[in-house]
């Protein structure tokens, strides 16, 4: 940590700060420049993360040297972690996972038909929401446990692991009974109580990036899960909120290679939510693969026009098939399989 002092800090103020820092078993090294005096703190500055150093008299600003996350960091583990979803699917290795399904589970017929179609098209993980976080209290809120049962049935029938969202600490046990992987949605990325609960489980967690979360905050949320004992975290870039309104969100593909320089956790991309526009999903799925994503999550619905949520951005199975075929070519071009 570097503490920059205000122009006219007194000797007494400097001594006070140095003493405070020593109290945390850290060493303070004072350097007087012509315009500003700085104090370099030597040692693990993370012990100061809960100390309001900027509130100390005489302090102008504080700059941190170390990253605030540890278990999520590349310093902790050099190679990308490989997360096992079961049924032969691993995320984080050379193979790129294809995760597909409807936004919501709407009926047994709809889900089984979609599962069959995406499997045939080349998907190896099934997604579908049973609990839905909807902006409007008047919108469809999901089929709850009944939806989970349908997902579990589809898994058995088509041998694909199932990813589904958990919204509430009170549902963690229930979702755990049926799913192979928890999804934490963008709006819950900083629902810390929920992160703690899935951190106490053994199952993989797909952690979506909040739509106004920095990469650092995203990794801190992963740290919550890791610090509670669950090392099976998969990150998912799904678009951030910007001033641009022609797309629903701005899919920040650069976050994928960026995360790979900072963390060992695998990262997948969600171009469906990331763009919210059908014609952009195919090119952005291919771009995700080229950017290094470990998986691609796509919404597919046999009849988008009747979907109870996000129908506007769902691909038809035949469109999804073309996407998988062409994404496979791009994967091959960069030396990966899909």
Binders of a second copy in range 68-107 (CB under 8 A): 68, 75
Nearer to a second copy, 160 or 189 (CB): 189
Binds a second copy by CB under 8 A, chosen from 92, 101, 161, 304: 304
Smallest gap from Cβ 85 to a second copy, in A, equals 24
Q: How far is the CB of 48 from a second copy (least distance, A)?
A: 11
- Count of residues for the chain? 338
| Selected range binding a second copy among 60-68, 93-101, 121-129, 230-238, rule: CB under 8 A | 60-68
Sequence-distant (≥ 6) Cβ neighbours of residue 19 within 8 angstroms:
none
Q: Is 52 in the site for a second copy (CB under 8 A)?
A: yes
- Show the binding pattern over residues 154-183: x = contacts a second copy (CB under 8 A), - = does not: -------------xxxx-------------
Residue 156 neighbours by CB distance under 10 Å: 9
337 in helix, strand or coil? strand
The CB-of-225 to a second copy minimum distance in angstroms stands at 9
Tell me the C-alpha distance between 199 and 151, whole Å: 23
198 vs 31, 70, 115, 173, 212, CA distance in Å? 46, 19, 26, 9, 22
Distance CA 55, CA 106 (A): 53
The reply to whether 19 sits near a second copy by the rule CB under 8 A is no
Partners of 83 in the β-ladder: 91
Cα separation, 237 vs 224, whole angstroms: 18
Query: Which listed residue (310, 320, 321, 323) binds a second copy by CB under 8 A?
Result: 310
Closer CB to a second copy, 99 or 280, in the complex: 280
Handedness of CA 155, 298, 129, 90 (dihedral sign): positive
CA distance 17 to 1: 13
331/338 Cα distance (integer angstroms): 7
Pick the closer one to a second copy by CB: 286 or 298: 286
Q: How far is CA 246 from the centre of its chain?
A: 24
Based on the shown chain and the rule CB under 8 A, indicate whether residue 229 belongs to the binding site for a second copy: no
The owner of tokens 């969202």 is: 165
Q: How far apart are CA 225 and CA 63, in angstroms?
A: 26
Among 236, 284, 296, 298, binds a second copy (CB under 8 A): 284
Alpha carbons within 13 angstroms on the beta-carbon side of residue 316 total 4
CB 280 within 8 A of CB 294: no
**Given 86, 190, 231, 319, the residue binding a second copy (CB under 8 A):** 190
Nearest distance from C-beta of residue 151 to a second copy, angstroms: 20
Q: Which is nearer to a second copy, 156 or 305 (CB)?
A: 305
With respect to a second copy, which residue has the nearer C-beta, 156 or 243? 243
Contacts with a second copy by CB under 8 A: the residue count is 111
Could you say whether residue 253 binds a second copy (CB under 8 A)? yes
Nearer to a second copy, 84 or 190 (CB): 190
DSSP label at 149? Answer: H
- Alpha-carbon distance of 196 to 227, in angstroms, equals 9
Would you count residue 145 as binding a second copy (CB under 8 A)? no
Name which position in 158, 178, 182, 224 contacts a second copy (CB under 8 A).
224
Contact 74, 262 (CB under 8 A): yes
75 vs 153, beta carbon nearer a second copy: 75
Q: Give min distance, CB of 99 to a second copy, in A.
A: 19
Contact between 12 and a second copy per CB under 8 A: no
Smallest gap from residue 83 Cβ to a second copy (A): 20
Stretch that binds a second copy, among 35-43, 81-89, 109-117, 151-159 (CB under 8 A): 35-43
């Amino acid at each position: 940590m570097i503490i920059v002092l205000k122009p006219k800090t007194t000797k007494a103020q400097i001594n006070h700060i140095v003493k405070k820092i020593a109290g945390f078993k850290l060493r303070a090294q004072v350097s007087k420049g012509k315009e500003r005096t700085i104090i370099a703190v030597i040692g693990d500055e993370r012990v100061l993360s809960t100390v309001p150093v900027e509130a100390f008299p005489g302090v102008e600003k504080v700059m941190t040297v170390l990253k605030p996350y540890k278990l999520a960091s590349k310093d902790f583990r050099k190679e990308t972690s490989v997360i096992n979803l079961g049924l032969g699917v691993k995320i984080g290795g050379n193979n790129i996972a294809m995760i597909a399904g409807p936004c919501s589970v709407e009926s047994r017929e709809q889900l089984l038909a979609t599962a069959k179609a995406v499997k045939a098209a080349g998907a190896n993980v099934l997604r579908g929401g049973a609990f839905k976080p909807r902006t409007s209290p008047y919108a469809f809120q999901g089929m709850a446990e009944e939806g989970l049962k349908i997902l579990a049935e589809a898994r058995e029938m088509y041998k694909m692991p199932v990813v589904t969202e958990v919204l509430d600490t009170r549902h963690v046990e229930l979702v755990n009974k049926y799913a192979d992987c928890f999804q934490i949605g963008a709006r819950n990325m900083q629902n810390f109580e929920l992160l703690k609960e899935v951190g106490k489980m053994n199952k993989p967690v797909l952690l979506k990036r909040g739509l106004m979360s920095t990469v650092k905050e995203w990794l801190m949320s992963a740290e919550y899960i890791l610090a509670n004992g669950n090392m099976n975290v998969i990150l998912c870039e799904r678009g951030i909120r910007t001033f641009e309104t022609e797309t629903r969100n701005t899919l920040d593909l650069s976050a994928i290679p960026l995360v790979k320089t900072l963390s060992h956790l695998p990262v997948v991309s969600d171009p469906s939510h990331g763009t919210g526009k059908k014609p952009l999903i195919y090119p952005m799925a291919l771009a995700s693969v080229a950017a290094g994503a470990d998986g691609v999550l796509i919404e597919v619905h046999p009849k988008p026009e009747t979907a109870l949520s996000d129908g506007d951005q769902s691909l038809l199975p035949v469109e999804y098939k073309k996407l998988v075929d062409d994404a496979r070519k791009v994967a091959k071009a960069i030396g990966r399989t899909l």
